[in-house]
Amino acid sequence: MKQHYEQLKAAFRRDTGSRIDFLRNPAVYGTELYRLIESLPKGADLHAHADAILPMDLQVAFLADHPELVIRMDGPLPGLIRYRGDGPADFGFRTMKDLLEAGATVDDFRRVWTLLGAGADTYLWDWFEGIFTRCGSICASPALVEDYYIRVMRYYHGIGVEHLELRCPFFGTREDALARGKAFYRALETVRKTDPLFTLRIVACGGKNDLWDPQFDTLMDNALYVREQVKDEARGGSDLVVAIDIVNDEDRSYSLSRYEDRVRRIMAANPGLHLTLHAGESLRGENAEIAIALRCGIERLGHGFNLYRYPALQEEVLRKQICIEVCPISNRELGYCSDFSLHPANGYRKAGIPLVICSDDPAYQANSVLVGDYLAVAVGWDLSLDELGGLFRNSIAYSFLAPDDKARLLAWWEDAWKEAIR
Ligand SMILES: [Zn+2]
The model's pLDDT over 400-420, given as tens digits with 9 standing for 90+, comes to: 999 999 999 999 999 999 999
**Mean pLDDT in residue range 365-376:** 97
Find, among 13, 42, 14, 16, the residue nearest to 28 by Cα: 16
CA–centroid distance, residue 104 to ligand 1 (Å): 30
Per-residue pLDDT for 368 more than 80? yes
Confidence of residue 338 (pLDDT cuts 50, 70, 90): very high
pLDDT tens sequence across 44-85? 999 999 999 999 999 999 999 999 999 999 988 999 999 999
Check if the beta carbon of residue 377 is closer than 8 Å to that of residue 391.
yes
Which pLDDT tens digit goes with each residue over 101-131? 999 999 999 999 999 988 888 889 899 999 9
Q: Tell me, in angstroms, the distance from the centre of ligand 1 to residue 222's CA.
A: 20
What is the pLDDT, as a whole number, of residue 247? 95
Q: How far is the CA of 361 from the centre of ligand 1 (A)?
A: 7
Query: How large a percentage of the chain has pLDDT more than 70?
Result: 100
Mean pLDDT (the chain, rounded): 96
The model scores a pTM over 0.95: yes
- Residue 285 in this model has a pLDDT that exceeds 80: no
Residue range 226-245: mean pLDDT, rounded = 97
Indicate the domain borders of the chain.
2-55+140-420, 58-135
What CATH number does domain 2-55+140-420 carry, 3.20.20.140, 3.10.310.70, 3.40.50.720, 3.90.550.10? Answer: 3.20.20.140
How close is the Cα of 325 to the center of ligand 1, in Å? 9
In this prediction, residues 161-183 reach a mean pLDDT of 98
CB 259 within 8 A of CB 212: no
**Which of 256-260, 263-267, 287-291, 386-390 is least confident?**
287-291
Residue 142, pLDDT > 90, answer yes
* CA–centroid distance, residue 359 to ligand 1 (Å): 8
Whole-Å CA distances, 221 to 217, 227, 255: 6, 10, 21
The 3-state secondary structure of 339-391, one letter per residue: CHHHCCHHHHHHHCCCEEECCECHHHHCCCCCHHHHHHHHHHCCCCHHHHHHH
Whether the pLDDT of residue 376 is over 90: the answer is yes
Distance 177 CA to ligand 1 centre (A): 21
Mean pLDDT of 27-50: 98
